[in-house]
């Protein structure tokens, strides 16, 4: 029954979602080229506010735990498990005070109104998964960028999304580059739960009544740990708080 009800609601959601992307694309351009970085950053944050509110059409709710643990004016590496593309919107909106950038596959850097534009001009890294040298160079660049400016970068070390919520093995290379080239940073483990349920029927229709939660754990200062130590602690605490 839920799947049947979800068809018309998913169509409405998709139309409103696309509307916001189209509206905010020129707004982003004006903010970036006329008013600069902070105006552009806020335009992206408010785009995601409207996208988040649009998800209420599907009965989606959000629970954010531990925002008080986020350090301001410090470079942060936000390390998250990855369950669906619906992870992104609450991260951008609820964690906006720490200026989140993303490590994203290069294919997302073109063709999607607002989204691709932000990835290209907002300070994120666009990596080619088939070209290890290019990927590591881009991650190095974003690591140096956040370290200099006290911004944050979001990395999903699983690489691909978990379609069942079950966490996958964390990859080492991206985190190792950020550890090396953002030496003043803190690793901030974040456990994401339930967003995979938005796609429990596949890409369409979408799941109804999902409660997506983000739990932010204690930051770990890069300079206080060897890479192996901070990698193990980060992975363990994230996976420990993923609901099965």
168 against 144, higher pLDDT: 144
Q: Would you state the structure tokens that stand for residue 118, as one six-digit string? A: 């932000």
Residue with tokens 């990596």: 127
How far apart CA 48 and CA 81 sit, in angstroms, is 20
Residue 167 has pLDDT above 90, yes or no: no
Backbone angles phi, psi at 89, to 5 degrees: -60, -50
Residue 198 has pLDDT above 70, yes or no: yes
User: How many CB atoms are closer than 10 A to CB 237?
Assistant: 17
Radius of gyration of the chain (CA): 17
Arithmetic mean of pLDDT, 217-222? 97
Arithmetic mean of pLDDT, 177-191? 96
Residue 164 has pLDDT above 80, yes or no: no
Residue 161 has pLDDT above 70, yes or no: no
Q: What is the pLDDT of residue 114?
A: 96
User: How many CB atoms are closer than 10 A to CB 216?
Assistant: 20
Average pLDDT over the chain, rounded to whole? 93
In angstroms, how far is CA 88 from the centroid of its own chain? 4
Arithmetic mean of pLDDT, 228-244? 93
For 124-158, the pLDDT digits (tens) are: 989 888 888 899 999 999 999 999 999 999 999 98
SS (H, E, C) the chain: CHHHHHHHHHHHHHHHHHHHHHHHHHHHHHHHHHHCHHHHHHHHHHHHHHHHHHHHHHCCEEEEECHHHCCCCCCEEEEECCCCHHHHHHHHHHCHHHCEEEEEEHHHHCCCCCHHHHHHHCCCEEECCCCHHHHHHHHHHHHHHHHHHCCEEEECCCCCCCCCCCCCCCCCHHHHHHHHHCCCCEEEEEEEECHHHHHCCCCCCCCCCCEEEEEECCCEEHHHCCHHHHHHHHHHHHHHCCCC
Q: What is the pLDDT of residue 131?
A: 83
Q: What is the pLDDT of residue 162?
A: 67
How far apart CA 76 and CA 144 sit, in angstroms, is 12
Cα atoms in the 13 Å half-sphere on the side-chain side of 44: 32
Arithmetic mean of pLDDT, 55-68? 96
For 5-60, the pLDDT digits (tens) are: 899 999 999 999 999 999 999 999 999 999 999 999 999 999 999 999 999 999 99
Structural domains in the chain, CATH included, are: 2-240 (3.40.1130)
For 82-111, the pLDDT digits (tens) are: 999 999 999 999 999 999 999 998 898 899
Q: Would you state the structure tokens that stand for residue 116, as one six-digit string? A: 């691709």
| Contact of 149 with 37, CB cutoff 8 Å | no
Arithmetic mean of pLDDT, 207-214? 95
Q: What is the pLDDT of residue 147?
A: 96
């Amino acid at each position: 029954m839920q799947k049947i009800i979800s068809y018309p609601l998913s169509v409405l959601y998709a139309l409103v979602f696309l509307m916001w992307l189209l509206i905010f694309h020129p707004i982003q351009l004006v903010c970036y080229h006329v008013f600069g970085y902070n105006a552009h950053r806020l335009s992206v944050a408010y785009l995601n506010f409207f996208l988040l509110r649009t998800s209420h059409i599907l009965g989606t709710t959000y629970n954010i735990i531990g925002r008080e643990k986020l350090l301001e004016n410090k470079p942060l590496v936000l390390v998250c498990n990855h369950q669906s593309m619906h992870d992104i919107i609450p991260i951008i909106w609820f964690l906006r005070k720490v200026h989140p950038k993303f490590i994203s596959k290069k294919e997302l850097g073109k063709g999607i109104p607002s989204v691709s534009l932000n990835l290209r001009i907002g300070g994120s890294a666009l990596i080619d998964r088939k070209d290890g040298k290019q990927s590591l160079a881009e991650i190095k660049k974003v690591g140096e960028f956040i370290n200099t400016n006290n911004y944050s970068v979001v990395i999903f070390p699983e690489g691909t999304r978990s379609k069942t919520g079950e966490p996958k093995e964390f990859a080492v290379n991206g985190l190792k580059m950020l550890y090396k080239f953002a030496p003043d940073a803190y690793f901030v483990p974040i456990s994401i739960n339930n967003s995979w349920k938005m796609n429990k029927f596949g890409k369409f229709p979408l799941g109804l009544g999902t409660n997506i939660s983000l739990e932010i754990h204690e930051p770990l200062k890069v300079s206080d740990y060897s890479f192996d130590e901070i990698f193990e602690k980060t992975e363990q605490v994230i996976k420990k708080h993923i609901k099965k």
